[in-house]
Amino acid sequence: MLAPALALQLPTPALFLTACLAFYVLRSRFLRPYLKFIWHCFIRPIGAVDQKTRLDKFYEGQADVYDATRNGLLRGRNTMLSLSAAHLRSLRAAEPGKRLVWIDVGGGTGQNIELMNKHMPLDFFDAIYLIDLCEPLLDIARKRFANKGWTNVHVSCQDASEFTLPEWTKGNDPKGSVGFVTLSYSLSMIPSFYTVLDRIDHVLCPTNGLLAVVDFYTAGKQPSLHEKAIGGASKECGWLSRWFWQIWFDFDHVSLSPARRSYLEYKFGTIKSFNGRNRFILPFIVRIPYYIWLGRSRSCDVSRACHAFEVEGGNVIGNCSPAPFKATKEAEELVPLLQLGEPALQNEGGVVVNITPPLSSFHYHVNKSWRLPYYEQPVHKEFRTFIYSFTWEDPSEDMRQLKLSSADSMFVITSAGDNPLHYAAASSPQRIHCVDMNPCQGHLMELKLAGIQCLQYDDFFALFGEGRHANFRGLLDSKLAPHLSSSAYQFWRINSQSFSSSFYLRGYSGWALRLAAFIFRVAGVSKDIQALCTADTLEQQEEIWRKKLRPVLLNPLVAALLKNPVFCWNALGVPLNQRKMLLDDGNIYEFIRDTLEPLVSTYLLKTGNYFYLLALLGHYTPESCPEYLTRAGFDALKAQNGQVLDAFRLHTDSIVNVLRGLSERSLTRALIMDHLDWFAPGSSDVDEEVAELHRVLAPGGFVFWRSAARKPWYNANFERKGFQITALGVRKGKHGQALDRVNMYASFWRAIKI
């Protein structure tokens, strides 16, 4: 009796409508492509046949829906093409009249070629060849190109390992005749991948040819620092991911074993590398590893990039300078690297020095090579991002003391790069060594150099003046990437949202600005902050400070926060030793008072003190900003194709290691900021660093430093080494004058090598 009753209840109007809707959806065009995809990829048997027959059988029933069903699965193709277009423009600038041929190996339906037309007009190429072994997919490509009317695009059904072009006449060697080759999700499907990559290497132009690949992959732990550096960040896949995806794709004869990518990175020099995870189905569960890779022939003219390895004194990869050794066994081990075109250095006695495996990811720059190569060390992992997004030392005061000329060679701490760019714009020294142990500070400096080199002023000011840009990702791939090292590109690709809101609220220093804004909101003085930053006179500025802001900042709660050692390091970048030096000279309340009181009555924030304007507003203005962000400063740095920028060499290592690699008397100026405050009193490391500074400075050369102490303990180290010490400014206390526009340090010093 129960069953019939239930049966009578089932055909309700709602259930009937649901059934009709389900039938409609199943029959609709929306689901039909995906049902075809599922049937042909996961259900329909193919059988064990040869490669061409298997491909034809696999795709013949789904060729018409291939593009519609792969957009979410085959990620990274658009990025690969955008990067390629940007790099091709830079590469072709060297040989503007040379014939340019593009081969898309395994290009299938030709969608990649249609996508490229959005990034670079196809008439940029003299000829484009799509090569694939699958006729059903090539039929789609032929119809696509015929509809578009592209006469320079040609379709050919060939085995990729034996491909030829109609323009390769019989008897002529095609070596070096191709300018651009792409492999978009095809390398993993080609059984004879060794032969294919060898063939591409043979036909690719050795000087300006570009190879671009995007594909799925798996990889375990990298066996060497060299391979890890080439592969880039996040290359390693977990054991479960490696096991699952290799087995899963193997059912469709797609190989995700590491061999293909390893041979690719061995055969060609890496220009760019990015490792991503495809989350198109279940974002937190299904994460298919894919990579984007750009490279060039290892037989390219290495002299174009040698200066990335060689600086004064032979300071090369890793910036380390081990003791020279005789070129015997070690030199024999170097021979294979030399055969790949990698540079080596010898001293006058024929002794090989600094034998370190070359980093092809740094070696094969397309444009200027500012960044010296480095291997990731354990200490680098301590820096998840940059500490300083802006610089707290006043470069104008530096310039008054530096007496810079175009003949000077400088040694500076990178930090956010604001001050080195100021020195370059103002005096164009012949060399500026920028040093920072934090790789992320180097990535930031590279981005600024790249932006000056290739962007217009409005875009550049939007990035680093306003701190936000609606299309940073587009700029990164289409303009900035050719001027960045592979590691810097990876960092900014991963952190591409850095400019979506305020860039200056990111990094460790951004926490301090966020907290300041929170305090101002709680205290109800946010409008007064705006008024302070737009005051037209010092009198107005002083009045707002005295009545509104002084009670907020000079109070016990703020003092207690600033005294906290965790906050000092994570938000302000002040280490424990420096914090102790500051407290030995007085309490935190006195420090805040003696820092801010003189500034308010001396420098107008609206036009003359961009340091505190940024701290209060979270961005600069055209009237109050660092020199490199002014129109005049930007134009000076950009003039003559960025000739001034050629002076920069960016090191990712400790100060003492970089100094060891420089030759005697090769520097005339060194600015080490407050770096020595970080050491504990009596540290032997300070003696070693001072000794190296003395060695590399020319007679009469200057060293400058600032300190949280009125008389830092390490001044004695300089005096013992033979430097003549002069105090350029020491804070006097409550009624003292500001030392500069920051006034945060208790003293400013100069040492002259006698």
Cα 409 to Cα 421: distance, rounded to the nearest angstrom: 14
In the predicted model, what is the mean pLDDT of residues 90-101? 86
Beta-bridge mates of residue 127: 101
Confidence of residue 339 (pLDDT cuts 50, 70, 90): very low
- Return the structure tokens found at 196: 């294919």
pLDDT tens by residue, 296-331 = 998 764 434 333 333 333 344 333 333 322 333 333
pLDDT per residue as tens digits for the range 718-727: 999 999 999 9
Q: What is residue 654's three-state secondary structure?
A: coil
pLDDT for the residue numbered 46: 59
Whether the CA torsion 361, 363, 367, 368 is positive or negative: it is: positive
Q: What is the mean pLDDT of residues 124-137?
A: 93
pLDDT one-digit tens code per residue, 409-447: 999 999 999 999 999 999 999 999 999 999 999 999 999
pLDDT of residue 387: 83
- Evaluate if residue 275 carries a pLDDT over 60: yes
Q: How confident is the model at residue 263 (pLDDT cuts 50, 70, 90)?
A: very high
Q: Where are the beta strands (DSSP E) in 169-231?
A: 180-184, 210-216
pLDDT over threshold 60, residue 634: yes
State the burial class of residue 723 (Cβ atoms within 10 Å of its Cβ: 0-12, 13-18, 19+): buried
pLDDT at residue 20, rounded to an integer: 59
pLDDT of residue 324: 29
Q: 548, 600 in Cβ contact below 8 A? A: no
- What is the Cα–Cα distance from 491 to 479, expressed in whole angstroms? 16
Task: Map tokens 């005061």 to a residue.
Answer: 397
**Per-residue pLDDT, 283:** 58
The rounded distance, in Å, linking the Cα atoms of 690 and 683 is 11
Residue 13: the pLDDT is 60
Question: CB neighbours (10 Å) of residue 533?
Answer: 20
CA–CA separation, 128 and 374 (whole Å): 38
Instruction: Give the closest residue to 214 by CA, choosing from 265, 275, 262, 132.
Output: 275
Mean pLDDT of 614-621: 94
Q: Which two tokens stand for residue 281?
A: 């189905």
Assess contact for 392 and 744: CB atoms under 8 A.
Answer: yes
The answer to whether residues 302 and 342 touch, using CB atoms and an 8 Å cutoff, is yes
What does the alpha-carbon distance between residue 118 and residue 114 come to, in Å, rounded to a whole number? 7
CB atoms closer than 10 angstroms to residue 349? 8
Helix, strand, coil percentages for the chain (3-state, nearest 5): 50, 15, 35
Nearest CA to 612 out of 423, 419, 742 is that of: 742
Q: Is the pLDDT of residue 131 over 60?
A: yes
For 75, 89, 132, 211, 531, the CA distances from 184, given in Å and listed in that order, are 10, 20, 12, 11, 55
pLDDT band at 502 (very low <50, low <70, confident <90, very high): confident
DSSP code of 585? T
Residue 217 has pLDDT above 50, yes or no: yes
Q: Is 226 in contact with 359 (CB distance < 8 Å)?
A: yes
Radius of gyration of the chain (CA): 31
Q: Are 186 and 105 in contact (CB under 8 A)?
A: yes
Q: What is the dihedral of CA 277, 280, 286, 290, to 10 degrees?
A: -30
**Cα torsion through 396, 400, 403, 407, rounded to 10:** 10
Residue pair 516/616 in contact by the 8 Å Cβ criterion: yes
Q: Please report, to the nearest 10 degrees, the dihedral formed by the alpha carbons of residues 750, 695, 435, 402 taken in order.
A: 30
DSSP per residue over 268-302, as a string?
A: EEEEEEEEEEE-SSSTTT--EEEEEEEEEETTS-G
CA distance 648 to 645: 6
Q: What is the pLDDT of residue 47?
A: 61
Q: Which residue blocks in 346-394 are alpha helix, DSSP H?
A: 360-363
613 touches 624 (CB < 8 A): yes
Q: What is 75-299's CATH topology? A: Rossmann fold (3.40.50)
Amino acid symbol at 528? D
Q: SS3 of 619, please?
A: coil
User: Are 335 and 388 contacting, i.e. CB atoms less than 8 angstroms apart?
Assistant: no
Classify 208 as helix, strand or coil. Answer: coil
- In this prediction, residues 636-653 reach a mean pLDDT of 95
Q: Helices (H), strands (E): how many in the chain?
A: 34, 16
Burial of 389 (0-12, 13-18, 19+ CB in 10 A): buried
Q: For position 155, what pLDDT does the model report? A: 95
Q: Which residues contact 610 (CB under 8 A, 6 or more apart)?
A: 620, 624, 625, 626, 741
pLDDT of 274 higher than 80: yes
Q: Rounded mean pLDDT of the chain?
A: 83
The predicted structure's pLDDT at residue 29: 58
Q: Quick one: which H or E segment has residue 96?
A: none
The three-class DSSP label of residue 133 is coil
Can you give the pTM of this predicted structure?
0.86
Query: 648 - beta bridge partners?
Result: 432
- The DSSP-derived string for 520-571 is HHHHT-HHHHHHHHH-SSHHHHHHHIIIIIHHHHSSHHHHHHHH-HHHHHHT
Which tokens in the block code for residue 479?
């303009």
On whether the CB atoms of residues 344 and 306 are closer than 8 A, the answer is no
As a whole number of angstroms, the distance between CA 604 and CA 482 comes to 40
Res. 21 pLDDT band, cuts 50 70 90: low
- For residues 432 and 647, give the distance between their C-alpha atoms in angstroms, rounded to a whole number: 6
Domain range annotation of the chain: 75-299, 318-378, 507-617
Amino acid identity of 50? D
Per-residue model confidence as pLDDT tens digits over 657-673: 999 999 999 999 999 99
Per-residue pLDDT at 276 exceeds 70: yes
Beta bridge partners of 156: 131
The token pair that represents 216 in the structure block: 């799925």
What is the amino acid identity at position 350? Answer: G
Q: 678 burial class (0-12, 13-18, 19+ CB within 10 angstroms)?
A: middle
Report, as an integer, the average pLDDT of 375-395. Answer: 85
Q: Which residue has the tokens 């792969």?
A: 70
